[in-house]
Copies of this chain bind each other. A is one copy, B any other.
Amino acid sequence: MKNYRMTICYEGTRYDGWQRQGTTDQTIQGKLEAVLSRMCGAPVEVQGSGRTDAGVHALEQVANAHMETGLTAPEIRDYLNRYLPADISVEEVTEAGPRFHSRLNARGKTYRYRIYVGDAKPVFERNYVWAAGEPLSVERMEAAAEYFLGEHDFKSFCANRRMKKSTVRRIDSLTVRRHGKEIWITVTGNGFLYNMVRIITGTLYEVGTGQRAPEEILEILEKQDRQAAGITAPPQGLTLLKVLY
């Protein structure tokens, strides 16, 4: 049994997210496992660096799987790309050390959230952006972003109310940039709670519209209460850009 590391790109629109579910195989993990199990003639379990929600995309998700196969790593990649649907692509397969674990070894992640602020309907980008429909002040959002930097308890930015493990995370970088007709929020941190990037985005959005002051972020963090933060931005604007090891 060798341990293979895979870099996977997908458009999440048609899927129920990354994680395999009992009742449906309409998940990225499920699709990968189905093709690899057929390839190996035995059940294969794929371990991802973390889940992505339904409708969320990934440029470079990382996963690993222990498999017995006569194929080389590039042949595994080609086999996957031949049999996976057109909205999932495997960019790279390499042999990893036996102890490599895509989730446990991940040191951090970078996500991007795209908010569309143009006048016209984003016809070609509609599955990749949130057309929020309000004028937003990038300056206010940038000012608010500062407060997220560093290590904090992000309980207010976690959708899982029954989270028993630590909700302390570190954000290393959080930028808000105008990019043509879009505003791109790009965040790197050592780990993200359930819906954390989408709640940060929804809160930054409320700062951008003027509903909230930038300095309220401090208060929200202190309250450790999901109710204190802003809305959860919709999934389709979010893309996992990179997993850091």
Contacts and interface: CB of A to CB of B under 8 A. Distances in A.
A86 B11 contact: no
Interface string A36-75: 0000000000000000000001000000000000000000
Interface of A: 9-11, 57, 81, 86-89, 91, 120-121, 123-124, 126, 128
A38 to B, nearest CB: 19
Chain multiplicity (copies): 2
What is the interface of chain A mostly: helix, strand, loop, or mixed? Answer: loop
Contacts of A88: 123
A86 B88 CA distance: 23
A88 B128 CA distance: 16
A196 B230 CA distance: 52
A9 B123 CA distance: 7
B11 A123 contact: yes
A151 to B, nearest CB: 34
A81 B124 contact: no
A89 B9 contact: no
B121 A81 contact: yes
A126 B86 contact: yes
B121 A86 contact: yes
A124 B86 contact: no
Contact of A124 (B57, B121, B123): B57
Contact of A10 (B10, B89, B123): B123
